[in-house]
Amino acid sequence: MNLSIVIPVLNEAAVIRDCLSSLQGLRDRGHEVIVVDGGSGDETVALARELADHVLVSERPGRAVQMNRGAAQAAGEVFLFLHADTVLPEGVDRVLATHGVNANAWGRFDVKLSGRRPLLRVVEAAMNLRSRLTGIATGDQAMFVGRALFREAGGFPDIALMEDIAFSAVLRRRRRPLCLRQAVVTSSRRWEERGIVQTILKMWRLRLLYFLGAAPSDLARQYHGT
């Protein structure tokens, strides 16, 4: 199994070097790393060039557009979509191979938030349980999709927010996801800066509005506070 790790970025100079440095062992084992920039105004692209196999610039920002652009370039049998502030489990390629991940499979990892506050343990447990029960994955959980299944499902829908949830729903109609208990560690920065309870309530509200038919562009403006 050859793995293509696709990382959508926008102004991630503070974390991109650490993110890519953690993936060099995978590159040494023959897997590829693709960074797709959405128009950063900082040094993200320059910092990424020496540590990735491909650094692409998307025609416009938006994770869906950027991830689809990376997938179009990818040569691997399995695509893994990674946020720049998320760390994969050790030996992730071996983990996926052990679970029989191939070109027709998809799934996600459990997530662990980086902070130490006890309420974060509740948040991550709820995220993992909800995902396991519903078959819906989020970007924080490092979604992986086999090449053939990704093409068959049409890639991420070109929407401003909730692209991971929308794509999960499409994939779930074809097959149940592999919900791996090995955990990725994702930054708890946004939770702690915006308030843990406030962030929980905001995300629940946005997801409810999405399922009730609200336009993703309107939800994106609410999410970003614009």
Residues pairing with 64 in the sheet: none
pTM: 0.93
The predicted structure's pLDDT at residue 35: 98
- Mean local confidence (pLDDT), 57-70: 94
Distance CA 226, CA 220 (A): 8
The predicted structure's pLDDT at residue 179: 97
- Mean local confidence (pLDDT), 83-112: 97
Nearest of 138, 81, 77, 82 to residue 104 by alpha carbon: 77
pLDDT per residue as tens digits for the range 115-171: 999 999 999 999 999 999 999 999 999 999 999 999 999 999 999 999 999 999 999
Distance CA 107, CA 94 (A): 15
- Does residue 225 have a pLDDT over 80? no
CATH level 2 (architecture), domain 3-224: Alpha-Beta Complex (3.90)
Q: Which residue reads 């503070």 in tokens?
A: 14
Contact (CB, 8 A) for 208 and 217 = no
- Mean local confidence (pLDDT), 44-64: 95
Domain ranges across the chain: 3-224
Phi/psi region, residue 225 (left: phi>0; alpha: psi -120 to 50; beta: rest), is left
The predicted structure's pLDDT at residue 26: 98
Query: Which of residues 152 and 60 earns the better pLDDT score?
Result: 152
